[in-house]
Amino acid sequence: MTSAADFPFFPGVRSLHSPGPSHVPKAVQDAMTNQPMDMGDPRVDGFIAACERGLRGLLNTQSADIFLYAANGHGAWEAMTINLIAPGQKVLIAGTGHFSDSWAVLSEAIGAHVVRTPYNEGYPIDVDAIESILRADTKNEIVAVFAVHTDTASSTTTDIPALRRAIDATGHPALFVVDVVASLGATKFEMDAWGVNAVIGASQKGLMTPPGLGFCAADERAMEVCNKNPAPRFYWDWRLRKSELSYRKFCGTPPQNLLMGMEAAFGLIEKEGAENVFARHRLLAGAVQAAVEAWSAEGQLQFLCKVPDARSVSVTTILVAPGVDPEKIRKVAREQFQVLIAGGLGQFAGRVFRIGHLGSLNSAMILGALGGVEAAMESLGVATGGQGVRRAIQYLAEHTK
């Protein structure tokens, strides 16, 4: 077992640029230092209600029920799946790469019959494939379509309204369920206007809160399916959690300090303004993409996502050429330049590294991260052209009002 004494001392602050956990602002950290309260304290109901309001606001839903869990995103996946899909029922999962595959494996583990669309590396969800499968399902056996809005492994974002239009074009009654773990708080999401029936998410990315809070949102149609679903469940059960009592809402004691932190995070979003938050994410993503564009000119690095409009505002995945070790880049960036970036997941392991640019970040923090990553690659002899940070600076200078 390792302890803090086993790690070298470094001055200053390490720059966290994974796509989650993301940087936790001081206001959120401070809120989480408050003493937990007894379950009868009305303040408990107050910060739970504030989190529910904040989620409804970012999801742009007027009436969806919100269910919060002491869980990560995988727990929220299970809660969603077990409330909507009975053992043996079919669910169509749109291929986006690692996270759609992981959701499919989880769904199969709890008894669902999963129909997958293939993932074409570097591209968003194949909307035509979804439409084709639904048209072929003449008996309406598919209960729901599951889609990941932003897949952090591939850094690809899918056009959710286009996917809704494809479902509608078939006349199929399947529910439309979307994972917003990596997109909520970084880009606009319109649950009601886009015709999304249910949503899952988690605290540790755009919501700027430590890992440990997952959530589901369900509209009236999703709740009808839940109420008729014979799948055995208890802890995850929306029917049991739909209550005015905080104890019932969490099937036990709420994770009070995480909820306090999330309430503070929503306060920060409200103070900045959601549209300004989204604009800031677009700006910082553009700076990172400008740097990667410059690095890629040397032929040893390239964007994994091949469609510029589908590149995420949350994270950028960089594919390396054969012979370049992304884990060495990560190690040197972390240990010599104090920049923490992410590696590849699933089929991307050993082939990519990822720079997160979501949550509580600003231009200076992004430039510092890019500088550390570029320095790490230069020290390892990876050809970058040395112009990545300069291009990012130029981008920010041109696009900052």
- Kindly state the tokens that stand for 150: 């932003």
Q: If you ran DSSP here, which 8-state letter would residue 272 be given?
A: H
Q: Is residue 178 within 8 Å of residue 159, measured between CB atoms?
A: no
Average of per-residue pLDDT across 385-398: 97
133 and 245 housed in the same domain:
yes
Domain membership of residue 347 as a residue range: 273-399
**CATH number for 336:** 3.90.1150.10
239 and 347 housed in the same domain:
no
Q: Output the pLDDT for position 8.
A: 67
Assigned domain for 290 exists = yes
* Last residue of one domain, picked from the residues 207, 239, 270: 270
Instruction: Report whether pLDDT(263) > 70.
Output: yes
Helix (H) / strand (E) element for 58: namely helix 42-59
Per-residue pLDDT reduced to its tens digit, 140-172: 999 999 999 999 999 999 999 999 999 999 999
**CATH number for 260:** 3.40.640.10
Q: Output the pLDDT for position 152.
A: 96
Say how far apart CA 163 and CA 218 lie, in whole Å: 18
Say how far apart CA 293 and CA 291 lie, in whole Å: 5
Q: Output the pLDDT for position 13.
A: 81
Instruction: Report whether pLDDT(312) > 70.
Output: yes
Assigned domain for 366 exists = yes
* Last residue of one domain, picked from the residues 201, 236, 270: 270
